[in-house]
A and B are shown apart, each in its own frame.
Chain A
């Protein structure tokens, strides 16, 4: 045997190593029952979170201290992940992904029972909590979001008033007229796309439901062309296209800066951004830091009305779940229940409570005054939509297609909006057929 044969043999042996995926998620169907007696539950639990800021400034520790007053024998540790989706994806291949975690977007809904312990049946949980159907598989619920979020425009009230607009626009055309007035009468950038940060653009997908005021909007995505004439996504995309096309967005979208955009909006250098209720507190904090009035930060619904009222959708943020491999499922469950019901996390973040009987946060006072109709989308087809989205590589929950849309609008990419959307629709419906067999 000469040296080459040896090398070839070694390489060959390496290739024959089993293509092991190392997936530990083989256990199936476990329940994380709520403990009967809080003083008896014990165990060390690790809670994964995306709130790096709250772990660093000690806020999470304060929550844990409060929690320990009720559950003295449970020790809570926090792990903040900066790039949650990417990091958790790798860890999901092991059994070590914390005791309490946020359900990652990458896990298919039907696989939930393999990764998470059930929190109870939908019938019993739906009576008390919102958003249960987002994590329900075969009648069992696997996660619970501690806050509800609502998409909408974060805007600077002072700037909009200076431009002479005091009423929320009710149609996309009125909205565009409003932005134009801002451009003419003030020095603010009317709309900021946050193109470079990518994810702010994906929030435009959450116009779905609020345009046509239809709780079945997600089911419609799964069954038809999302960009059909008059459909929610088309109206939203058209508005974004027109904003950029008419020069109402920032001059150079390719070098935007998300962190910087917060104080800029607070100071009135930027007038509007399409984000969600979750962003309001961040902008108010930025205002306080910049020494301007935090009450200038306003929140408005998508400019569309049906039957004379605005419509807004309430959806879950990340859902907390219990690791199916956790040795302390009761303690983990206790944390989720306490964090959802009693921690005050929702109020601290000016967010919508996940409890059905709780009142709306202060931020949404103008919504109540204006009689905005709040709806919850039916998510029973959510898994199917995600599957079609990935298979077709359209990516309605990914930034790429909206980046292309903005490029198209500012002329960096050739083509018309109609062709672009028709093309997406074609890809979508083609995959739809192969995925669902419809």
Chain B
């Protein structure tokens, strides 16, 4: 943005010629207006497709609308009372625990690979590609692929069989096994994204620091602990926030693979069911608003606990 705004007044000033005085009134108006003119298109899109629907959803959450009926009644905070008084609606958050644990594993793994691949390693770019590849595949496709993967006698069983391990386990059969499998798929899916973020952050650390530290007798672990980790702290915090909100609102993978059966229902799947199976659009909107508030709250608490200081490595 700063680039474009800088250019326009420069042009007008040149045409004004020899005037050494402050720019004339018209120029100043343009200077204020120009950035907004540039912002017009994105803002219009943002408001039409993001904020207006959200405002609409908030409005629905105070009604008993069923999604199609021409009639809807204002019910006040009834939907919210229902959400906070029915414990079965909140039990699904236990499922998010699996995804939360998975995201810890995921961040640790991403950090590990990013660190290793930021040093000179053979086939470095190949491994980067391998790790990032799943992020390029569409989530729905991944759901279907892994449905075959976990099938009885499917890919997973075949691979285990090659190693002489013949299980007769239904991978999506029990709540524990199903949730673990789904969380595993989620790690596979999102690891690449975290990895790329970390890798970028690590590569922005100036190389002299490593050399200097080596002269001081630091080993790889010291470099990681005292240079890389503090150097990428802002990115790390961001990733943690994204992972937590992602675990709370996990949807794609469990919805495609199990549809929420066998104890794999997440809060978002439940919301979708309320809205599209039981036609309680009002209640579902309220649930969506509550989820939004919960995520905002978690983020706020987290920012309080881990303030985002400026890091200064040198």
> What residues of chain A have their CB less than 8 Å away from a CB belonging to chain B?
10-11, 14-21, 23, 25-26, 85-86, 89, 92-93, 104, 106-108, 111, 114, 195-196, 198, 251-252, 254-255, 390-391, 393, 395, 398-400, 403-404, 407, 410, 412-413
Is residue B259 contacting chain A, with contact meaning CB distance below 8 A?
yes
Are A15's CB and B55's CB within 8 A? yes
Are B263's CB and A252's CB within 8 A? no
Are B175's CB and A17's CB within 8 A? no
Stretch touching chain A among B9-17, B64-72, B193-201: B64-72
Stretch touching chain A among B104-112, B123-131, B207-215, B274-282: B274-282
Stretch touching chain A among B146-154, B221-229, B294-302: B146-154
User: How distant is the Cα of A407 from the Cα of B174 in the complex, in angstroms?
Assistant: 8
| Cβ contact of A412, chosen from B151, B174, B274, B277, cutoff 8 A | B174
Is residue B59 contacting chain A, with contact meaning CB distance below 8 A?
yes
User: How distant is the Cα of A16 from the Cα of B59 in the complex, in angstroms?
Assistant: 9
> What residues of chain B have their CB less than 8 Å away from a CB belonging to chain A?
47, 51-52, 54-56, 58-60, 63, 65-70, 72, 147-148, 150-152, 154, 170, 172-175, 178, 258-263, 273-274, 276-280
CB-CB under 8 A from A114, the residues of chain B are 70
CB distance from B157 to the nearest CB of A (A): 10
CB distance from A339 to the nearest CB of B (A): 25
A106-B68, A255-B150 given; A17·B52 CB < 8 A: yes
User: How distant is the Cα of A19 from the Cα of B273 in the complex, in angstroms?
Assistant: 22
User: How distant is the Cα of A114 from the Cα of B68 in the complex, in angstroms?
Assistant: 11
| Cβ contact of B260, chosen from A25, A195, A400, cutoff 8 A | A400
CB distance from B171 to the nearest CB of A (A): 8
Q: Is the interface of B mostly helix, strand, loop or mixed?
A: loop
Are B172's CB and A21's CB within 8 A? no
Are B70's CB and A254's CB within 8 A? no
CB distance from B75 to the nearest CB of A (A): 13
CB-CB under 8 A from B274, the residues of chain A are 393
Give 30 CB contacts A-B under 8 Å: A11-B51, A14-B55, A16-B55, A17-B52, A19-B55, A19-B58, A20-B56, A21-B65, A23-B69, A26-B70, A86-B276, A89-B68, A106-B66, A106-B279, A111-B69, A196-B147, A198-B261, A252-B152, A254-B261, A254-B262, A255-B148, A255-B170, A393-B274, A393-B278, A395-B278, A398-B278, A400-B273, A403-B259, A412-B174, A412-B175
User: How distant is the Cα of A59 from the Cα of B170 in the complex, in angstroms?
Assistant: 41
Are A21's CB and B58's CB within 8 A? no
Which 8 A-B pairs rank lowest in CB-CB distance, beginning with the nearest? A19-B59, A254-B172, A252-B152, A252-B170, A23-B70, A255-B151, A14-B51, A403-B261
Are A395's CB and B277's CB within 8 A? yes
Are B152's CB and A255's CB within 8 A? yes
CB distance from A417 to the nearest CB of B (A): 17
CB-CB under 8 A from A398, the residues of chain B are 273, 277-278
User: How distant is the Cα of A16 from the Cα of B58 in the complex, in angstroms?
Assistant: 10
| Cβ contact of B58, chosen from A15, A23, A89, cutoff 8 A | A15
Are A14's CB and B47's CB within 8 A? yes
User: How distant is the Cα of A385 from the Cα of B67 in the complex, in angstroms?
Assistant: 19
With both beta carbons as reference points, the residue of chain A lying nearest to B61 in the complex is identified as A19
| Cβ contact of B173, chosen from A25, A107, A252, A400, cutoff 8 A | A252
CB-CB under 8 A from B276, the residues of chain A are 85-86, 89
With both beta carbons as reference points, the residue of chain B lying nearest to A198 in the complex is identified as B259
Are A412's CB and B70's CB within 8 A? no
User: How distant is the Cα of A25 from the Cα of B66 in the complex, in angstroms?
Assistant: 14
CB-CB under 8 A from B63, the residues of chain A are 19
CB-CB under 8 A from B175, the residues of chain A are 412-413
User: How distant is the Cα of A233 from the Cα of B17 in the complex, in angstroms?
Assistant: 89
